[in-house]
Structure 1
Amino acid sequence: MTASKAEPAGLSAVPPVTREAVVSRPPVLGALPPELDGTFLTIGPNPLRRPSGEHLFAGDGMVHGVRLRAGRAEWYRNRWLRTDRVARILGELPAPGPRHGPNDNANANIVRHAGRTLALGDCGPRPLQIDSALDTVARVDFDGTLRGGFSAHPQHDPVTGELHAITMSLEPPYATYVVVDVHGRVRRSVPVPLKRPVMTHAFSLTERHALVYDLPVVFSPAAAAAGSRVPFAWNDGHGARLGVLPRDGGSDDILWIELPPCFVFHPVNAFGAGRHIVVDVIRHPRVFDRDPHRPGETPPALVRWTVDAAAGTVVEEPLSDLVQESPVIDDRVRGTRHRIAFATALAPCDGELLGGPALLRHDIAAGRTDTHVLPPGRATGEAVFVPREPRAPEGDGWLLSMVTDARTGCGELMVLDTADFAGPPVAAVPLPVRVPHGFHAAWVDGG
């Protein structure tokens, strides 16, 4: 499948999956590591009756999953999330539970917390809980403790097990720092006053601070009036800044530090280093500017920001000259100094932000990048990292990602052993159906 000159490749050029499917016992090529006992999940927009001119990020959420156990692939499934819109079109009851904000389209990410698997979205919807068969269970307000909406990209503290997030809202103060305890209840909520509503897809967490990205993709009243489900656009007048909030502090303790105009969908990691805070991010010079419906107008790069909070300065250092997105680390080191970062290499000419022709492994301490290149005509989406065992060294384990084949249009779950990163996959699970590159992928242990 090729894109026309007027339509760059990417989500907008890929037709949506038109039906829900179940594939029992898909074949396995190679040998699946028996230690991989869990479900690989990916989520993204898959429009059901796509409205004309819809924002690239607004498609109805669909979850895809492959269950692995004892060296076998037990099943593949895909399911639309039962939002109000999807349920209405399908003639079903929508997900129960209180909703929040202008839409409930949780199409962006998946996390597992306090015994629940949660689908998450941008623009402040509440999480949607899904079960082990990927069916929608209910909207979640964390047992009545979540006052507003939630975040598309929260982060777990690997020490405490708590879930941290910067949530956004179209109402003042426009953002909130939220901590969900290990029992699945909000135990801390700190207002983060902003000048106006901004798109806050993610944030960074260190051992001592939550870092807020206040960047110039802001709420557009004109887009909202036109009915956009993602009413945000680039605004040169907003500026860019990084908020440094002590994890035990309040609104008055936030230190704001100016940044050059840019946008960050995905931070890699952040950690304290003496008097500095080190922040690795995938930085986009501009997004949603020339085309407010698609973000891929400038090439994203891996950079390091060294923040001097006392001086109020940020020094930027490039870490790679490759165009890339969808960074992944070993979550056991999140919030502390990391050495290894994985990412998806992009082909700058095709406009695709969710998939590319190779996976990258950056050894940041050594200044070296290894590449796993896919055969021609194949592209991989975001990967997930699974440690070989609980005490394995950082980055030692398996990398799983969903690959698409342009010739067949079908998906294939690929499993790499990081001990031979550039070598052939140790296993693959070919599927007889198409699995579009989603926004994010996740690994859920066990059932």
Structure 2
Amino acid sequence: MDGNARINPYLAGNFAPIRSEDDFDLTVEGEIPLGLRGALFRIGPNPQFEPRDANHHWFGGDGMVHGFYVQDGKVSYRNRYVRTPKWELEHQHGRALFGSMGNPMTTDPLAMGNEGGVANTNILWHAGKLLALEEAHQPFEMDVRTLESKGYVRPYKGQVTAHPKIDPKTGEMIWFGYGVGDMPLSAGMSYGVTGADGVVIRRDDFQAPFSAMVHDFMVTEHHVLFPVLPLTGSLQRAMSGLPPFAWEPEKGAYVGVMRRDADVSTIRWFNAPACYVFHPLNSWEEDGKIFSDVMRYDVAPLFPKADGSPGDKAAARLVRWTFDLNGASDAIKEEPLDDLDGEFPRVDPRVETRKHRHGWYAADPANGKTIRQGAIAHLDLKTGKRQLYELTGGDATSEPVFTPRSATAEEGDGWVTAVVYRAGEDRSDLLVFEAQDIAKGPVATAHMPRRVPFGFHGNWVSF
């Protein structure tokens, strides 16, 4: 092996894949609350084979689901690949066939015309189905108990976002798609609604100001907001050997606002200076205005510039965007909410799309502009008080997930679960916290015999 060969950071350390599918009973330290019953499901990229691309991107790996099943104070663990058509085709041939993130320049002819979905970004429960999601394909159903792959849910007729929002009152799942159309990396987008019964009741297409990676979006009780930010997509750029997605700040930043019950032709495009948002915390409407609390970056991290040169390091901080629906200006007002670098913000799911008080997120206490998150934060937006649980020894946390103590408990009354990588031991633990007493540390820790690779998102499903 060439001693000067570059090691892809997304294939090393705790980004490296775990290719075994296992079932473990975990040793618990402390006491799992007896009221906490169900499973924390997490998902992330986990390439089945060595990728074809020298510049393999983290976002392009095959999806693997990690389930932590909690009952009667005990915890068991199970992980399984999402056996998409891509996974099955490559498994049949015993090697990678698809280029990273569908790059046609590095895709084997054997894979041309076949679905390249990886279902690696989010996993959630809706209408009696456990759905593995990514940004360019339809939801993929997994068995909630065995994690057996059950296949794509086809009624969506096109790609669906990895970040739908579930209205806590109606049970509807509101979602979008981007890159919609006959050509890859187009500026086409879709707005869709799935009823509480799992039936798709709406899908409408529209054109964004330009092609962009629209990772997430915002929903309120009556409105939906589409952020089109200058992490741009370009088929022409990809076909010339340059990055399919790249940072182009000169394009500006736009957020389209529309009533949920209106036609897509009514979208009003608000604007802001160039920035990027992977994840909002939550959004709501009040007195003719929409408020969105988002984790905002000055530049898009993890992606290069349009000429292929490396992108700048960046970290996100929580800010509040205000959209004045009755005002003449289309400018987005912005104000800071926190001075700590962070990502993966979450609220109590019972207040999603409505005004919230509490938020939790993974944080970097050193403000070091890195995606490594060494702390879990709780922010009380009513009092302004922030609590922090700091990890040590290079340990890093996943997205913290809130679970209510009961269906009728007050907002924020419950538990937070997170998977933490123990760097010194090269393995992982499941941590359980009292949600409003994060600084006290975990009330229980379930020890894993091996690591869970860094992933993206997870959700709790109560049984």
- Fold shared, TM-score > 0.5 on shorter chain: yes
Give distance in 1, aligned partners of 2:45 and 2:403: 25
Give distance in 1, aligned partners of 2:235 and 2:423: 39
Q: CA deviation at 1:394?
A: 1.1
Matched, 1:160 2:178: no
- Contact 2:10–2:56 (CA under 8 A) maintained in structure 1: no
**Does the C-alpha gap of structure 1 residues 8 and 277 become closer, same or farther in structure 2, counting only changes over 3 Å?**
farther
Partner of residue 53 from structure 1, selected from 52, 55, 59? 55
Partner of residue 267 from structure 1, selected from 253, 260, 280? 280
Give the partner amino acid of 2:159.
Answer: G
Q: CA deviation at 1:218?
A: 1.5
Aligned to 1:436: 453
Give the partner amino acid of 1:374.
Answer: L
**Alignment partner of 1:28: what SS?**
strand
Q: How does 1:68-79 map to 2 (within 5 A)?
A: 68-73=70-75, 75-79=76-80
Give the partner amino acid of 2:297.
Answer: H
Give distance in 2, aligned partners of 1:153 and 1:346: 23
Deviations 1:32-79, CA, capped at 9 Å, x for gaps: 111111111111111222232112211111111111111111x21111
**Does the C-alpha gap of structure 1 residues 294 and 69 become closer, same or farther in structure 2, counting only changes over 3 Å?**
farther
Q: How does 1:230-309 map to 2 (within 5 A)?
A: 231-287=244-300, 288-290=303-305, 297-309=313-325
- Contact 1:156–1:164 (CA under 8 A) maintained in structure 2: yes
Q: CA deviation at 1:222?
A: 4.8
Aligned to 1:221: 235
Q: CA deviation at 1:18?
A: 3.5
Matched, 1:346 2:352: no
Give distance in 2, aligned partners of 1:17 and 1:389: 36
Q: How does 1:122-141 map to 2 (within 5 A)?
A: 122=135, 124-131=136-143, 132-141=145-154
Q: CA deviation at 1:121?
A: 0.4
- Contact 1:173–1:191 (CA under 8 A) maintained in structure 2: no
Partner of residue 177 from structure 1, selected from 191, 214, 236? 191
Partner of residue 334 from structure 1, selected from 349, 352, 355? 352
Give distance in 1, aligned partners of 2:44 and 2:70: 21
Aligned to 1:199: 213
Give distance in 2, aligned partners of 1:285 and 1:101: 37
- Contact 1:55–1:293 (CA under 8 A) maintained in structure 2: no
Give distance in 1, aligned partners of 2:313 and 2:441: 33
Matched, 1:385 2:402: yes
**Does the C-alpha gap of structure 1 residues 221 and 326 become closer, same or farther in structure 2, counting only changes over 3 Å?**
same
Deviations 1:2-22, CA, capped at 9 Å, x for gaps: xx9x98977765452342232
**Does the C-alpha gap of structure 1 residues 158 and 191 become closer, same or farther in structure 2, counting only changes over 3 Å?**
same
Give distance in 2, aligned partners of 1:316 and 1:370: 24
Aligned to 1:17: 17
Aligned to 2:83: 82
**Alignment partner of 2:439: what SS?**
coil
Q: Which runs of 5+ in 1 are unaligned?
A: 94-99
Give the partner amino acid of 1:125.
Answer: H
Give distance in 2, aligned partners of 1:108 and 1:8: 20
- Contact 2:209–2:228 (CA under 8 A) maintained in structure 1: no
Q: CA deviation at 1:196?
A: 3.2
Q: CA deviation at 1:126?
A: 1.0
- Contact 2:399–2:458 (CA under 8 A) maintained in structure 1: yes
Partner of residue 105 from structure 1, selected from 113, 118, 130? 118
Give distance in 2, aligned partners of 1:231 and 1:107: 19
Give distance in 1, aligned partners of 2:239 and 2:14: 27
**Does the C-alpha gap of structure 1 residues 305 and 154 become closer, same or farther in structure 2, counting only changes over 3 Å?**
same
Give the partner amino acid of 2:339.
Answer: D
Q: CA deviation at 1:428?
A: 0.9
Matched, 1:149 2:159: yes
**Alignment partner of 2:265: what SS?**
helix
Partner of residue 211 from structure 1, selected from 225, 232, 239? 225
Give distance in 1, aligned partners of 2:448 and 2:13: 21
Partner of residue 398 from structure 1, selected from 410, 415, 423? 415
Please report the TM-score for the alignment, with normalisation by the length of structure 1: 0.89
Aligned to 1:96: none
State the identity as a percent.
34
Give distance in 1, aligned partners of 2:421 and 2:78: 16
- Contact 1:401–1:413 (CA under 8 A) maintained in structure 2: yes
Please report the TM-score for the alignment, with normalisation by the length of structure 2: 0.86
Q: Which runs of 5+ in 2 are unaligned?
A: 95-112
Give distance in 2, aligned partners of 1:279 and 1:32: 34
Give distance in 2, aligned partners of 1:11 and 1:361: 31
- Contact 1:55–1:294 (CA under 8 A) maintained in structure 2: no
Give the partner amino acid of 1:129.
Answer: E
**Does the C-alpha gap of structure 1 residues 54 and 347 become closer, same or farther in structure 2, counting only changes over 3 Å?**
farther
**Does the C-alpha gap of structure 1 residues 12 and 226 become closer, same or farther in structure 2, counting only changes over 3 Å?**
farther
Aligned to 1:189: 203
Q: CA deviation at 1:227?
A: 8.3
Kindly tell me the number of residue pairs found equivalent between the two proteins. 429
Aligned to 2:101: none
**Alignment partner of 2:362: what SS?**
strand
Q: CA deviation at 1:235?
A: 1.9
What is the RMSD computed on CA atoms of the aligned residues?
A: 2.6
Give distance in 2, aligned partners of 1:369 and 1:60: 36
Give the partner amino acid of 1:308.
Answer: D
- Contact 1:113–1:182 (CA under 8 A) maintained in structure 2: yes
Aligned to 2:41: 41
Give distance in 2, aligned partners of 1:332 and 1:114: 16
Deviations 1:337-378, CA, capped at 9 Å, x for gaps: 11111010026677642x511101111121221111123332
Deviations 1:258-293, CA, capped at 9 Å, x for gaps: 111111110111111202111100001111244969
Aligned to 1:97: none
Give distance in 2, aligned partners of 1:352 and 1:64: 24
